[in-house]
Amino acid sequence: MKLKSLILGACSVLAMAGFARADTTLTIATVNNGDMIRMQGLTDDFTKANPDIKLNWVTLEENVLRQKVTTDIATKGGQFDVMTIGTYEVPIWAKQNWLLPLDNLGSDYDVDDLLPAIRSGLSAGGKLYAAPFYGESSYTMYRKDLMDKAGLKMPDKPNWAFIREAADKMTDKANGIYGICLRGKAGWGENMAFLTAMSNSFGARWFDEKWHPQFDQPEWKDTLSFYVDLMKADGPPGASSNGFNENLALFQSGKCGMWIDATVAGSFVTDPKNSKIAKDVGFALAPNKEGVDKRANWLWSWALAIPAGTKKAEAAEKFVSWATSKHYLDIVAAKDGWANVPPGTRKSLYDNQKYLDAAPFAKMTLASIKAADPEHPTVKPVPYVGVQFVAIPEFQGIGTAVGQQFSAALAGQISVDQALSSAQQLTTREMTKAGYIK
């Protein structure tokens, strides 16, 4: 009997111990970009240090992710404990009290090490509401071998006329090489991220100072006409379906002479394991139109945030701290080399000679981030902030609707004039409905 009692007692103690240390499962929504995929493969470091925290990943294509996390947080669905969102959502959602401030990232996190432009874009009221996983601007990536073959030299600060000339000379459709690859997939964060930044470099703007849409102005006609003509002459087939990941695959396989897109792509296009043209890639600033003092570079950070509705805030903040820490950068460097650490978030990374030596894109990435000016994104004055987006809640819906019109123009389904007319009408209607236009 005594032995039986002892066994039962021991079992009871073990059961109580197990109950006291109940596992917490964090559901994390993230985008299917290469850096996030890599992070999922490195989380053993986190779970070993936090054995009571389990991780459940929901990895989605960019447009789908944005739709799902926006719906979840706006409806208080509570589906996610950590969300991957960006510099567009953070200030707006923080103002709505939809996000928790990140007050307990740990004594060794070093918030002051975050690049000022990136930190500012993820803050509201002086508080950090999302921690940057990586930061980016945009720049011009090009094949040096094809540039040499064309008898041209890429300037550090190209203009659009040079880009058009180079694309024409690089294009060799008989051999499956296209002079340029640019985003065409519809979405406020897909083709409209690129086209809004491009429009800035042509002197265009989304709205005048009284919130009237400006798609009926010549600067937007110049932007969209140049883009459609360039892509029809020198872009790949089916470009209206291509976003960041599709163009990355094309560029890595040697199909594109140039690609103007996110600076985060630098490590992927120069990685000899995945890129056929790794040794031939050069980098330059995003273009401008000659005489226009704005370039087609944006400012963005994919960041990790905690929705206010989670019941697992403490565990969620531990994970956010780990994934965006200096320690995480060291983990990536040890496994995959310094060139592959998430870029664009910390000043100390750009003071690290090992990184600068390993990453030929590092200095151009930092220069592009510093060149972006969200407070003054356009040549003419505007009532909004944001470089490749307009920082108002309505922009998600409007930007995607306009993106669909512009994607249709690229596909040849409608004319440039029709796309601009539709964009003007639908944006005027939505801004009037929302009360911006009196």
Residue 235, domain member (yes or no): yes
Q: Of 333, 358, 383, which marks where a domain is finished?
A: 358
Q: Are residues 291 and 166 in the same domain?
A: yes
Q: Are residues 156 and 203 in the same domain?
A: yes
Residue 263, domain member (yes or no): yes
CA distance 182 to 112: 35
Can you give the pLDDT at residue 63? 87
Q: Are residues 84 and 154 in the same domain?
A: no
Q: Tokens 């559901």 appear where? A: 27
pLDDT (mean) for 39-43: 96
Residue 420, domain member (yes or no): yes
DSSP letter (8 states) at residue 264 = G
Q: Are residues 293 and 311 in the same domain?
A: no
Residue 117, domain member (yes or no): yes
Coil/strand/helix, residue 384 = coil
Residue 320, domain member (yes or no): yes
Name the amino acid, one letter, at 128. L
Among residues 265, 233, 234, 263, the alpha carbon closest in space to that of 247 is found at 265
Q: Are residues 414 and 321 in the same domain?
A: no
Is pLDDT above 50 for 349?
A: yes
pLDDT (mean) for 276-293: 97
Q: Are residues 313 and 219 in the same domain?
A: no
Residue 413, domain member (yes or no): yes
Q: Are residues 107 and 126 in the same domain?
A: yes
pLDDT in tens, 369-385: 999 999 999 999 999 99
Can you give the pLDDT at residue 17? 42
CA distance 268 to 360: 12
Question: Residue 104 sits in a domain of what CATH number?
Answer: 3.40.190.10
Least confident of 12-26, 63-77, 235-249, 324-338: 12-26
- DSSP state letters, 78-119: ---SEEEEETTHHHHHHHTT-B-----S-TTS-GGGB-HHHH
Q: Are residues 219 and 182 in the same domain?
A: yes
pLDDT (mean) for 417-423: 98
Coil/strand/helix, residue 172 = strand
pTM comes to 0.89
Q: Are residues 171 and 191 in the same domain?
A: yes
User: How much is the mean pLDDT over the chain?
Assistant: 94
Q: Are residues 254 and 193 in the same domain?
A: yes
Is pLDDT above 80 for 339?
A: yes
Q: Record the tokens describing residue 5, joined without a space.
A: 């009692």
| Burial (Cβ within 10 Å: 0-12, 13-18, ≥19) of residue 144 | middle
Residue 36: which domain range?
24-136+300-358
Residue 209, domain member (yes or no): yes
pLDDT (mean) for 134-155: 98
pLDDT in tens, 161-191: 999 999 999 999 999 999 999 999 999 999 9
Can you give the pLDDT at residue 125? 92
pLDDT (mean) for 62-77: 92
Is pLDDT above 60 for 16?
A: no
Q: Of 317, 332, 358, which marks where a domain is finished?
A: 358
What dihedral do alpha carbons 80, 81, 86, 90 form, nearest 10°?
110
Higher pLDDT, 10 or 106: 106
pLDDT (mean) for 393-422: 97
- How large a percentage of the chain has pLDDT more than 90? 92
Coil/strand/helix, residue 11 = helix
CA distance 71 to 63: 12
Q: Are residues 83 and 205 in the same domain?
A: no
pLDDT (mean) for 258-277: 96
Can you give the pLDDT at residue 303? 98
Higher pLDDT, 290 or 12: 290
Residue 114, domain member (yes or no): yes
Is pLDDT above 90 for 199?
A: yes
Can you give the pLDDT at residue 21? 52
Q: Of 309, 328, 358, which marks where a domain is finished?
A: 358
Q: Tokens 């789908």 appear where? A: 64
Is pLDDT above 50 for 397?
A: yes
Number of compact structural domains in the chain: 2
Q: Are residues 203 and 259 in the same domain?
A: yes
